[in-house]
A and B are shown apart, each in its own frame.
Chain A
Amino acid sequence: MPLPEQDIHYFIDVTLTHLNKLTGNEITLRSPTIEFQSLVFSAYTGLLHLKGTAEGFVYITASQQFLSHLYTVRGNSGRAAEENCREVIGDLTGHLAQNVTKRFGTTLKLSEPRVFSTVPDDPIEMPPAVFVQPVVWRKEHAYIVLGLASAELSAS
C-alpha cells in the first residue's frame, strides 16, 4: 500500500513544527511547488534516503543566513561559521529522522543523515516529481523537499 497523504505530509509537518518551536512560531509558508526537472539546493542541505513503505528521499536545504539565525536563537553569539551551519542543518535532519523512525518503525528504513553544502557530492536520482515546500523566516529561505519514487508507483 502506498503511504496515505497524512503519512507523506508527516515529513513536512514534523519539520515545520520543529522550526516553529525553534523560531517562536515565526515561520511563514510559501505556496509549495512540484518540480519535474531539477532539485532545489540552497547553501546547506541535510538529506535522508527512504526505503520501505516509501522510497526516495527527504531533505532540508537552507541559506547560510537562515541557519545563522537559527544558530543565534539557540543561544550562540557571533556569525555562524561553515561548521556551525552544518551542525544546525544536521540537527534539523537528525530531529526529522528521529521522529520518522518513531512514527513508522521498521516499515520505513532511513539512511544516515547526509549533510553537504551547495550541491551533493554523489548524484541524487531525480524521481518523476519532487514536492518542494518553501519556508521563510526573517526574509531568509529554506526548503523542505520530498522526492518519492518507485514504491509509491508500484504499490498502487
Chain B
Amino acid sequence: MTGTEIYKRTPTYEAEARSIRIHAPQWKLLLAYDGQRTLSEVALSAEMAYAEAVPLTQTFLENKWIAEEPITLDQYLKRLGAKDITATGAVVAPPVVLHDPEKDKPKPSAPPAPLPVTPPPVAAQPPATPPRPVPVPIPLPVPVPVPVSASAPKPVSAPTPVTPPPLPATPVTTPIPLSALPMPDKPAAKRTMKLSAVVDYITSLVGNVSLGQILVYRVFLRVPPELLLAEDIASVHLSGDASLINGEKLQKAIADAVNAVAKKGLPDSVYA
C-alpha cells in the first residue's frame, strides 16, 4: 500500500454492517472510505495515523468490507485540480483506468511508458517528486555535407541519438497551467462539497451506523428541499452517494443543519 489507493465500501459491507463489531476509531476509518479520497486522506480525516490505518485497511480488505476503486483519467486530473481541461483545447483521452487494483498490478521493471495524451496543464499542487522532463519536439539536425573520396569511401556512422535538453524553468512551448490563466468571472476559492463525505461524517458522529443514518436524516430534514432539487439531488444514498454540491447556498444550508442537529461544524475533508 502506498497511501494513494482509493477504496469504497462494498455490498458485502452493506449486508454485514449491522453485525460488524469493531471499535469506534475503526468504524471512523471504515466509514470514511468514500471511493474518492486516497487512503492517506481517509486516514487523515479519520484522525488516525497512516501506519495505524494500513493494517486496519488490510483487515477490511480481507473481510471484503472495502474494495479498491480505480479512477479514470478525468477523475485523476480532477483530483489534481485541473478542472475543465477541455476548455484549454487539450486533447483528452477517453476515460481509462490509471490505477489498477493491487492484485493485478505487476511491479514494472522499467518506468511506465508515457500516456498518449498531451501533458495536461496541471499545476494546482506541487508534485511530490521532481517532474520528469516532458518530451519536446526537437528539430532534426541538418546533415552536414561530407566530402567523399571516390577511391576510399568513408563509412557512414550511425546517427547519434539526441537527448532532449532539460526544459527551462518556464518554457514557452509547454502548456500554461490553468491556475496561471486569468479568470475574470470566476469567484475565488469556490469549493465542491462531496455528499458522500458529508453523509459519512455525520454517520461517524454516532457510534452505530443505523443511528448515524437517522442522524443524517434529521440533518436533511432541515435542508430546504428546493435547494437540493435545484442541484438535481432528489435523493441521498446513505452509502457511496457520488453527488457533488457546488451551490454555495446548499453547502451553507447543509453546514447549518449539521451544526443545528449535531452541534458540530463540517470538517474540510467533506470538500473535494
Contacts and interface: CB of A to CB of B under 8 A. Distances in A.
Contacts, number: 78
A5 B206 contact: yes
Given A33-B238, A34-B235, A28 B211 contact: no
Contact of B261 (A29, A31, A156): A156
Contact of B234 (A12, A37, A152): A37
Interface in B200-233: 206, 210-218, 220-225, 228-229, 233
A29 B217 contact: no
Q: Is the interface of A mostly helix, strand, loop or mixed?
A: mixed
Given A128-B221, A153-B222, A32 B14 contact: no
Contacts of B18: 29
Contact of A32 (B228, B233, B238): B238
B225 A9 contact: no
Given A9-B211, A28-B15, A34 B217 contact: yes
A153 B211 contact: no
B252 to A, nearest CB: 17
A9 B214 contact: yes
Given A31-B237, A34-B236, A129 B221 contact: yes
A30 B14 contact: yes
Given A5-B214, A6-B211, A9-B210, A129 B220 contact: yes
A114 B217 CA distance: 25
Nearest to A56: B221
A24 B230 CA distance: 44
Contacts of B234: 35-38
Given A5-B206, A5-B211, A6-B211, A36 B221 contact: no
Interface in B221-261: 221-225, 228-229, 233-240, 260-261
B211 A129 contact: no
A152 B221 CA distance: 8
Contact of A29 (B14, B216, B235, B240): B14
Contacts of A30: 14
Given A34-B238, A35-B235, A36-B235, A131 B214 contact: yes
Given A6-B211, A128-B225, A34 B218 contact: no
A32 B213 contact: yes
Contacts of B210: 9, 12-13
Interface in A13-36: 13, 28-36
A9 B206 CA distance: 13
A57 to B, nearest CB: 14
B216 A34 contact: yes
A36 B238 contact: no
B214 A36 contact: no
Contacts of A120: none
Contacts of A31: 14, 237-240
A8 interface: yes
A37 B229 contact: yes
Nearest to B215: A5
Contacts of B233: 36
A129 B14 contact: no
29 contacts: A2-B218, A5-B206, A5-B211, A5-B215, A5-B218, A8-B217, A12-B210, A13-B210, A29-B14, A30-B14, A32-B213, A32-B238, A33-B235, A33-B236, A33-B237, A34-B220, A34-B235, A35-B234, A37-B229, A37-B235, A38-B234, A128-B221, A128-B223, A129-B217, A129-B220, A129-B223, A148-B221, A153-B221, A156-B260
Interface of B: 14-15, 17-18, 206, 210-218, 220-225, 228-229, 233-240, 260-261
Given A31-B238, A36-B236, 5 more contacts: A12-B210, A31-B239, A32-B213, A33-B238, A153-B221
